[in-house]
Structures are given as C-alpha cells and as structure tokens.
Amino acid sequence: MAEAVRSDAPEPAGDLAAAAALVSSLANAPLPADAVYFGEVSLSGAVRPVAQSAARLKEAAKLGFTCAVMPEAARGETIESGLKVIDVASLANLVADIAARGKASMAAKTGGQNR
C-alpha cells in the first residue's frame, strides 16, 4: 500500500488539501466541491506558499473551480482568475473554519437542537 502513494518527487502543495480532507471527515463537514486547496503545511502548523501559485489558480479556474483556499503569504501572487480566494495562515485557522461549517450544518439538520 505504501508503494502505491510513494512519490520520488514530493509535492508539498497537496499538504493543505490533505489536511482539509482529514479535518472535514473528522468534523463531518463536507468541503465545497467547487473549491481547490493548495499550500504546504509545516510541522508547526503554519501554511506556507508553494511555487507557481498564479499558474495553479489559472488552471483551477479553467477546470471549473470557483474558490481557492491558499496560504495567506501567497496572496500577493494571485492573478485575476475570477476565483474567490480564501487565505489561510495556519492549520489552526483551517480547522476552526471547517469545524464551524460542520457545526452549522449539524444545527441546520437538527433544527438547532442538540441531541
């Protein structure tokens, strides 16, 4: 199994997407299908910019995404892509945003009552 995901050329840009998927699953809060996530997550939890942010945004727009979640530090590298850009500075911010979405979704399903 480990061989199936092994890569000789690591791509740190996928760190944020993997983290978002894990948090989404734990918080029972589905991620928006029209959002793309990219950024490197450091061991301290900081979300770092990655190479080719502008090209990634341009390609995401071409593929039909309408929202991009990316490192706050890469905000200056954005282009006019038509995407709504959401900045994330740390893993803690990402967790809080997704967890809040999960709570709101659960409250809507239960009519705001705890069970």
pLDDT in tens, 26-44: 998 999 999 999 999 999 9
Q: What is the pLDDT of residues 76-95, one digit of tens each?
A: 776 777 899 999 999 999 99
- Check residue 7 and give its pLDDT: 54
User: What global pTM score does this model have?
Assistant: 0.80
Domain residues of the chain, as ranges? 11-106
pLDDT above 90 as % of the chain: 63
Nearest one of 47, 37, 60 to 88, comparing CA atoms: 47
Q: Edge to edge, what strands does the sheet with 67-71 contain?
A: 35-37, 67-71, 84-88
Name the one residue in this structure whose structure tokens are 């809080």. 96
Burial class (CB in 10 A: 0-12, 13-18, 19+), 37: buried
Question: CATH second-level architecture of 11-106?
Answer: 2-Layer Sandwich (3.30)
Q: Give CA angle at 91 (74, 49), nearest 5°.
A: 20
Confidence of residue 115 (pLDDT cuts 50, 70, 90): very low
The structure tokens listed for 94 are: 């990402």
Q: What is the DSSP letter of 40?
A: E
